[in-house]
Amino acid sequence: MTTAALAPGAESARFSRTREGATVLAVYLTSIAVALLVAALVLWATGGSPTTVLSAMLDGSVRADARWGRTISEAIPLLLVALGTTVNAKAGLVNIGQEGQLFVGAALATYVFTHIGVSGPFVLILIMLAGVVGGAIWAGIASALRYRRRMPEVLTTLLLVFVAAQLVGYGLKNSNLLLDPTPDQANRLLVSERLDPSTRLPRLSWFGNEFPVSAFVALALAVVVALVLSRTIVGFRLQMLGRGPRTAHRAGVSESRYGGMALVVSGAFCGLAGAFMLVGGDFGNYRLTPGFAVNIGWEGLLVALVARSHPIVAIPAAFVFAALRTGSGFLAATGVDRDITKVVQALLVLALLGPPAILFVRDRRRALAAARDRV
Amino acid sequence: MTAPPAAELEGITKRFGAVVACDDVHLALQRGEIHGILGENGAGKSTLMKVLIGLVLPDAGMIRVSGEPCRISDPAEAAEYGIGMVHQHFSLVEPLTVWENAILGERIRLDAASARQRVSEISERYGLDIDPDERVSDLSAGLRQRVEIIKCLRRDPAIVILDEPTSVLTPGESEQLFAVLRRVVEQENKAVALVSHKLDEVLTATDRITIMRAGTVVDRRDTTDADAPGLARAMVGRPVSLRSEGAALGHIEALDGEAAAEGSESEPSAESAEESPVLSISAATAKGRDGRVLLDGLSLEVYPGEIVGVAGVEGNGQAPLSDLLSSLLPLESGTVRVRDSEPVPGRPGSMAAAGVAVIPADRHESGCVLDMTVAENLTLVSPPRSRLGRAFLDRAGREAVAERLIEQFGIQTSGADAPMWSLSGGNQQRVVLARELSGDPAVLVAAQPTRGLDVGAIEYVSERLREAARQGVGVLLISTELPEVLDLADRIVVIFRGRIVGEMDRAGMDVERLGLLMSGAQEAAAS
Amino acid sequence: MIVDFFSAVGDVLSSESTYSSGWRLATALGFVAVGEWIAERAGTINISVEGAMLGGAFAAAMGYDATGSIAVGLLVGAGAGLVVGAVQAHFSHNLTANQFVVGLTLNILVLGLASFLNSTLKPETAAAHVFEVPGLVEIPLLGPALFGQPWPLYLLYPLVPLAWWLVHRTRWGLEVRAVGENPQAADVSSINVNARRRQAIYIAGITSGLGGGYLLLGQVGWYEDSIVGGQGFIAIAAVIFGGWTLRGAMLGCLLFGSANSFRLSLPGVGHPLNSELLSSLPFVLTICVMALFAHRTREPQSLARPFIRGLR
């Protein structure tokens, strides 16, 4: 057997590990520096001071009293949304409708607690379940359209965000559905009834910082998602689908079953995030409001992107993004509009999108150059 | 001859990493000549041609066009120097018309009327006979190649390069192609370079032959002085004795005698006649999304321990047949039986579960997952499950399986956890082979299993297929390389337009009749 | 109630203002769809047109605030759209990052930037005046809709045939179609695939920015963060609805624009149907229409697939 005639193909993979690591780090740091520089330039141009802004943001997110508890509270739904997004991303699907799925989840949860007539811890579970179902249904529509009508899930999930906003808005105008039927509330404030204190999620208080216990649920779920993806057959097959759909099909992975499931699970996570926001009390003060989702869905998606679909990495990423949110609350004193944090967030995401793409193309080119024209 | 050659390559050297693709190669293409460049896959002939048209930059060496030294860094520059290439794959845009395709990549202003007219002119001048307003998606493989040729000739190049031009053609179409090339050379005094690994082709169509091996030129001859055994010897570097090498070189005559002689020693079809088939496809009909007929009542049986070769010109249903057996293609009517089960065509994993192993023609698309590790790729179909529960992966078990297969199949990799994309093509193919054969299949489908591999790897794959058959697996070999089919198969069926149009076994092999069947001359050849 | 509804529908359909507002809303989509059509023919689903539109609207407000000229405002708007397009193009067809992810991030970036700058700079704006085309405006029902509109709307009229000519009659257009269908083939024919794709996205950015400027200076008159509100996405849906033909895309814009104007008109004729449900109508309609027709049309074969030489 003339095996020796074969070229050693793995040759290109042989490189100095430390040098490679340094290169990767340098590329990332440069990108992030450029992003922050751009943000600073925007501030300068509008007469703001980057250092004051930074200091105010640090105060608002961690340094000031009770602020890091607040940041954790905001990180919970961000993390949950990011975890859901990880699942669909692994299956090779692009879900960008988290904001809608979250909102529908929260709305269904609200509908359940306003109509069930009883309260108590048992109802809490039911509310959570309703949130999961709501999010799952909303993503399920996109899933069905993807696998029955071959409509790109990117567009359907996106369009459904707008439908969700209007639909829930309609519910909040109608006292049969979501609107608080108390007479002096109606028509003036479009809000739902308030959650009964016995049905609220317990809150922990550590060193003067408060956050709901859902933080631990979110952390546990991050570990679960990580384990399912790396240690189970389902996780393995899901990733196979995402990376080589035809190979996966041949190996017995049904695209519609696994892909459809991934999208539904993704929506379920968003719905759960919505339900936790409702029962946790940090958003809307235990009421559903028209602007209830407050961009958590969009930003959770960004968290997943920054974490490169890694569930454990998503934990610190969610905290950082939450810190940008809570930090922006302290900007009013500096006279800088809080929307600057959105700019910083998006710039950070763009900065983190570049390097992996650059490195990917470079690695592939190397491998191809080594393999080209030879076997 | 006093005029300088149309193009001269002097001392061309090109390395890819540690591999030397071309090593100090000299080549002169003369006007009015068809120059055959002969070599095995991977001998460096394609790289050399890519240097000439600017797709590959050489590490050393010089190019002269009509005696003038020049530097060519991309195909557009090559075109300016009058060098054109007839591409084999990926060069035509299907939804566009013939004339639109023909002028793609030019820099001048778009003028539909004159473009159409020029396409018609060229098509008439060389007897290519094609309608400029037809959509390429409606054309057959042979006609598409004519579009490629027009696309190349439209710039009126002094030098025309063809890289393995006959792989998609029937024998008849190949003859027509060579007639066109002869006209190009004689009437227009152009230089033609014909890159090929097929001896017959080079012997019949060229005026001069350069033979390459392992990146160097090993011999140059006038075609009139050349003979098949000598060329084969020069190409491989030793006398050609192994049948698989004969197959790789496309030398059919060399096989005929041997095939008859060796046919009797391993003759499984006699005993298998009483057995029931491991695979039987009956009246399979399938249409594509665009409504095109992919399979048209195809019926086929494979018995245990035999190798059935599916011969045919590319694009006649080989890909759909392979897809069908990869559970990628649902049928409109017809059935597939594997042993005693009847897997549902198109349902994910149905064929694999029934015991059909597949080595797909495009391993990147349905054979492996490039972004996963070698170990993961070796256990795609049935990953080892943990003792903790059937839902969990047994990662240590997977490592063990992977290590064993890497050892057993001689896969060269930096480790079981190396990403698949870091492997060379031959080793990727070994991974696919290892996985598919380790699943203890009833049927092994091998679609173009040796395409793009070098002689060593071809030999290896061929031997594995034979061994699988010896162990009682029914092997279905789908290949457009007729010599490969003739070499390996115990029985040959011919596929044409999604149907099996003829069959012959090893004893009654008749190459001429095969050629007729492949070109669709069914009535003439029907027995 | 059903009878009420239909009589209200009748009132709406016989009112000239319905057609006028329908046409206005459709043309806002039209600007975006023209560019997006070219980008998709080249192989990109460019969801950053939403951001380009918003950026264009805000930049137009700034441009008008600085110079007091509608024309300058529109020009600045188109420029801002080009910038958004350039970032999208560079990230998705130079760095080969996922085009949807880039587009979405850009949309968020532009929204953040525009609202930040708006609250800081507070540009003052006004709406363009209506220009009635003499004679043509007299046509009953449709006349005022087509020819009695704020003048920036008329920019779309030459833009549509121009885009068609560009894609179907020029070499650049031929190459754009080729890279959208088969980038490998285009590449070996020595066409710079990613350059063509980037250029197509630039154009989408310019027309979207122009569309945003038109929205602000021709329709709304002042900047607000919700001024675009998903119209960029609807324009993308219109292109898909139109089966990747320009005619179909424009028809889609007309359909979705009319649906929107229908919603706005119903309360106007004294029928307070809940506006939330009607607000979602264009989106629901888009989804339904796509579900019915999307799978029948032939999309560019390499739509939304990145091209890296040597990789398939």
CA atoms of B232 and B208, how far apart (whole Å): 16
Give CA–CA dist C190/A136, Å, rounded: 47
Phi, psi of B435 (to 5 degrees): -65, -45
Q: Is the dihedral of CA B149, B152, B158, B163 positive or negative?
A: negative
- Chain A contact for C120 (CB, 8 A cutoff): yes
The pLDDT value given to residue C52: 97
Q: What phi and psi, each to the nearest 5 degrees, are found at residue A223?
A: -65, -40
Q: B327 and chain A: CB distance < 8 Å anywhere?
A: yes
- The pLDDT score that the predictor gives to residue C107 is 92
pLDDT at residue C72 in the model: 95
Hey, is the C-beta of B261 within 8 angstroms of any chain C C-beta? no
Highest mean pLDDT (candidates A57-66, A113-122, B294-303, C75-84): C75-84
pLDDT band at A227 (very low <50, low <70, confident <90, very high): very high
Mean pLDDT of C206-229: 92
B463-503 confidence digits (pLDDT tens): 899 999 999 999 999 988 777 888 889 999 999 889 999 88
Asked if the C-beta of C106 comes within 8 angstroms of chain A's C-beta atoms, the answer is: yes
pLDDT in tens, C155-198: 999 999 999 999 999 999 999 999 999 998 898 888 899 999 99
Which residue type sits at B76?
Answer: A
Best of C169, C174, C191, C307 to disrupt the B interface (most B CBs within 10 Å) is C174
Alpha-carbon distance of B29 to B10, in angstroms, equals 12
Residue bearing tokens 């449709």: C142
pLDDT (0 to 100) of residue C226: 87
Structural contact between residues C235 and C36, judged by C-beta atoms closer than 8 angstroms: yes
B379 backbone dihedrals φ, ψ, rounded to 5°: -125, 30
pLDDT at B383 over 50: yes
Distance from CA of A51 to the nearest CA of C (A): 18
Asked which of A70-79, B42-51, C36-45 is least confident by mean pLDDT, the reply is: B42-51
The residue-averaged pLDDT of A67-71 equals 92
Q: Is the pLDDT of residue B522 over 60?
A: no
Given the structure tokens 């939804």, which residue do they identify?
B95
* Cβ–Cβ below 8 Å for A155 and C119: no
pLDDT of residue C309: 66
Whether residue B42 lies within 8 A of chain A, CB to CB, comes out as yes
Please answer yes or no on whether B90 and C170 come within 8 Å at the CB atom: no
Structure tokens at B59: 């590490």
The answer to whether residue C80 scores a pLDDT higher than 70 is yes
| Residue from the list C169, C170, C178 with its beta carbon closest to the beta carbon of B104 | C178
B422:A13 CB<8 A: yes
Answer yes or no: is pLDDT of B390 > 80: yes
In sequence order, which ranges of C68-141 are alpha helices (DSSP H)?
Answer: 70-93, 99-121
Residue C170 forms contact with B (CB below 8 Å): yes
Chain A residues inside the 8 Å CB shell of B380: 240, 247, 251
In a domain, A325, yes or no: no
- The values of phi and psi at residue B440, to 5°, are 55, 60
Q: What is the pLDDT of residues B177-189, one digit of tens each?
A: 899 899 888 888 8
Rounded-to-integer distance, Cα B376 and Cα A232, Å? 13
Rounded CA-CA distance A131/A269 in Å is 9
Q: Is B74 on the interface with C (CB under 8 A)?
A: yes
Domain membership flag for residue A156? yes
Label residue B267 by pLDDT band (50, 70, 90).
Answer: very low
Cβ pair B74:C301 closer than 8 A: no
Reported as type and span, the H/E element at residue B508 is: none
Residues of C whose CB is below 8 A from A350: 87, 91, 102, 105-106, 109
Q: What is the pLDDT of residue B19?
A: 67
In CATH terms, the fold of domain B265-355+441-525 is: Rossmann fold (3.40.50)
What percent of chain B lies above the pLDDT cut of 90? 34
Neighbours of chain A (3+ CB pairs under 8 A): B, C
- Stretch C284-291: mean pLDDT: 82
Confidence label for A212 from pLDDT (cuts 50, 70 and 90): very high
Task: Spell B240-260 as b/e; 16+ CB within 10 A means b.
Answer: bebbbbbbbbbbbebbeeebe
Quick one: pLDDT band at residue B305, thresholds 50, 70, 90? Answer: very high
Which position has the higher pLDDT, A7 or A360? A360
Residue B344: DSSP 8-state: P
Q: Which CATH class is domain C2-296?
A: mainly alpha
Contact between A246 and B328 using a beta-carbon 8 Å cutoff: yes
pLDDT band, very low/low/confident/very high, at B285 (cuts 50, 70, 90): very high
Chain A and chain B share a number of CB contacts under 8 A equal to: 171
Which residues on chain C are in Cβ contact (under 8 Å) with A354? 91, 95, 97
Whether the pLDDT of residue A83 is over 90: the answer is yes
pLDDT of residue C9: 64
Whether C181 contacts chain B with CB within 8 A: yes
Test mutation, C188, C244, C296, C309, chain B, max B CBs within 10 A: C188
How sure is the predictor about C271, in pLDDT bands with cuts at 50, 70 and 90?
A: low
**What residue spans of B126-227 are helical by DSSP H?**
141-153, 171-188, 199-205
Task: Decide if A53 is inside a domain.
Answer: no
**For the ranges A43-52, A215-224, B428-437, C281-290, which has the lowest average pLDDT?**
C281-290
B365 or C227, higher pLDDT: C227
pLDDT band of B526, cuts 50, 70, 90:
very low
Q: Give the model's pLDDT for residue C246.
A: 95
B373-383 mean pLDDT: 91
Interface of A to B at Cβ within 8 Å reads: 1-14, 231-236, 239-240, 243-244, 246-255, 257, 364, 367, 369-375
Please check whether residue A276 is in contact with residue A212, taking contact to mean a CB–CB distance below 8 angstroms: yes
B526 versus B317: the higher-pLDDT residue is: B317
* Per-residue model confidence (pLDDT) at position A313: 93
pLDDT reported for residue B265:
42
Residue B310 has pLDDT above 90, yes or no: yes
Inter-chain CB proximity A250 and B326 less than 8 Å: yes
In chain B, where are the structural domains located?
265-355+441-525, 370-438
Q: What is the pLDDT of residue C12?
A: 62
Chain C positions in Cβ-Cβ contact with residue B110 (cut-off 8 Å): 169-171, 174
Indicate yes or no: CB of B424 within 8 angstroms of CB of A234.
no
Displacement of CA B293 from its chain's centroid (Å): 23
Q: Residue C250: is its pLDDT beyond 90?
A: yes
Residue of chain C nearest A94, judged by CA positions: C100
Which residues fall within 8 angstroms of residue A30, CB to CB, at 6 or more apart? none
pLDDT score recorded for residue A11:
40
Model pLDDT for residues B217-263, shown as the tens digit of each residue: 999 999 988 888 888 788 777 555 444 444 445 554 444 444 444 44
CB atoms within 10 A of CB C53: 40
C174 part of contact set with chain B, CB < 8 Å: yes
Q: What is the pLDDT of residues C33-47, one digit of tens each?
A: 999 999 999 999 999
Encoded amino acid at C89, one letter:
A
Give a yes or no: residue A64 inside a domain.
no
Residue B238, classed as helix, strand or coil, is coil
Tell me if chain B has a CB within 8 Å of the CB of C196.
no
Is it the case that residue B527 has pLDDT exceeding 80?
no
| Closest-CA distance of chain C to residue A64, Å | 25
Q: Does B289 touch chain C (CB under 8 A)?
A: no
Q: Nearest CB to A253: which of B17, B348, B360? A: B348
What's chain B's average pLDDT? 83
CA gap B134, B141 in Å, rounded: 14
Question: Quick one: pLDDT at residue C38?
Answer: 97
Residue A167 has pLDDT above 60, yes or no: yes
Interface B–C counts its CB contacts (< 8 A) at 59
Q: What's the number of domains chain A is made of?
A: 1
* C113 in A contact zone (CB under 8 Å): yes
Of B359-368, B449-458, B473-482, the one with minimum mean pLDDT is B449-458
| Model pLDDT for residues C178-187, shown as the tens digit of each residue | 999 999 889 8
Residue range B37-60: mean pLDDT, rounded:
83
User: Which residues 289-318 of A are in CB contact (within 8 Å) with C?
Assistant: 298, 301-302, 305
* Structure confidence at residue B88 as a pLDDT band (50, 70, 90): low
Per-residue pLDDT for C266 more than 70? no
pLDDT at A29 over 70: yes
Residue ranges covered by each domain of chain C: 2-296
What pLDDT was estimated at residue A28?
A: 86
Beta strands in chain C (DSSP E): 130-132, 148-150
Cβ pair B418:A10 closer than 8 A:
yes
Kind plus residue range of the DSSP H or E element containing A126: helix A121-149
Query: Does residue A313 form part of some domain?
Result: no
Q: Is C191 on the interface with B (CB under 8 A)?
A: yes
